[in-house]
Amino acid sequence: MSLRSLIGLFGTCLAFGQEFVISDDWQVRVEGQALRVKPPMMIEVVGERYTSIPMFNPKVGGWVKGMQLKGVRAQETTSPRLLDLTSFHLRAGPEENAPLFIRGVDYDIDLEWGTFGRLTDSRIGAEQEVFASYRHAQLRLDAVVQTASGQMVIREGEPRAAAPAVPGVNAGERHWGNIYLSGFIAKLAPEHLFPVLEAAYPESPRVANPTVDRLVKRLRSGQPLRILAWGDSVTDGSYLPETDRWQTQFVTRLRERFPQARIELLTQAWGGRNTASYLAEPPGSAHNYRETVLGVKPDLIISEFVNDARLEPSQVEERYTRLLADFKGIGAEWVILTPHYVRPDWMGLTREREVDEDPRPYVAGLRQFAAKHDVGLADASLRYGRLWRQGVPYNTLMVNAINHPNGRGMRLFADALMALFRD
């Protein structure tokens, strides 16, 4: 860790120690006032009906190994570690005395992800109803608020399986921070406290970049600008309303910034894939790189590929140099979005606080590549890394509990792009 990071972390610890601390298992003290936090509730589910269940597949991701339990279901996936490991039972009927199926004989279950399915010699038929009983936790964000009258209160958030929202803070109130109940926890710990240390991301002065300078000139002159948003499921964004997607938010704001501009927005995106996937697609494919990226003749390509995140810097240099040559060949400018943060263990993280510095070599590779080749870089990763300073555990912006940002998370991409076009 750099000296600057150590100094920042030390300052943060002082802020915790003086203003926002745990004083008991379910109590926090804020500016000398003790506030009780409501412990998380375990939800009891009895006889939940499933009209049929698939075969259990142990060779795939936990969230798709079988039927997803409704209580822990998120967007496309389930939220991990919310299921009480000892509570799951599967029966042939909703009654307590209905025949009980046996794990390892009739079915198997991924207890971390809450997905279950039939086994080869199961007594459960392919079209047979089954009834599940279990206990599960939820995620919750509570806000610590000082009201206009000066009273310190905890405003309880709505429990959810994924992406719990911060309760509203009214005009005239001070938002001291949030308390993140990340499932069923035995007591509060420091990693659950997220004081508000900054109101917003600290914008830096715009650094001149040849790519961006040419784009600004084009926007101001009113020349047509065809923008292609190219990426994976985060760029596809079909799980969100159109207005929430990062490219729509960006172009809406770009038109406000340059009212004389004539902008056309196109999207080419492929969920679960990366740049190598596009390059490998044959002619005629719906995602053939030459036909669907180069062939639409964009003036500006904005790329977002969190699915490239396993690349090392040398691999970024090799592959992205090839892409840059192709883009120059059709006269297109290029702006690269650094990726958002994804679930902590997928990034080698053990927490969602003090995570300013993105640990992924891919992100370092993108920054090196953009600087070396004068390509535009919209550094959304930096903004995700500072969310904890704004009181937000970053994974609470993921509607699938893994890597699909909600509208607020998408806005961080648009913020990073618009930062390139500031005066």
- pLDDT score recorded for residue 23: 94
Angle at which helices 407-418 and 246-257 pack, to 10 degrees?
40
- Paired with 180 in beta bridges are 141
- pLDDT score recorded for residue 207: 86
- Paired with 175 in beta bridges are 145
What is the Cα–Cα distance from 287 to 271, expressed in whole angstroms? Answer: 11
Domains in the chain, CATH or no CATH each: 17-40+138-195 (no CATH), 43-136 (no CATH), 210-421 (3.40.50.1110)
- pLDDT score recorded for residue 423: 79
Using an 8 Å Cβ cutoff, are 167 and 142 in contact?
A: yes
- pLDDT score recorded for residue 74: 98
Count helices and strands in the chain by DSSP H and E runs: 10, 18
What is the Cα–Cα distance from 233 to 246, expressed in whole angstroms? Answer: 12
- pLDDT score recorded for residue 312: 98
Measure Cα distances from 421 to 100, 251, 337 in Å: 63, 12, 14
- pLDDT score recorded for residue 14: 36
What is the Cα–Cα distance from 182 to 351, expressed in whole angstroms? Answer: 11
Q: What is the pLDDT along the chain (423 residues), one digit of tens a residue?
A: 343 343 334 333 334 434 889 999 999 999 889 999 999 999 999 999 999 999 999 999 999 999 999 999 999 999 999 999 999 999 999 999 999 999 999 999 999 999 999 999 999 999 999 999 999 999 999 999 999 999 999 999 999 999 999 999 999 999 999 999 999 999 999 999 999 999 999 999 888 899 999 999 999 999 999 999 999 999 999 999 999 999 999 999 999 999 999 999 999 999 999 999 999 999 999 999 999 999 999 999 999 999 999 999 999 999 999 999 999 999 999 999 999 999 999 999 999 999 999 999 999 999 999 999 999 999 999 999 999 999 999 999 999 999 999 999 999 999 999 999 987
- Report phi then psi at 228, rounded to 5: -110, 115
Residue with tokens 């002159």: 221
State whether residue 70 is helix, strand or coil.
helix
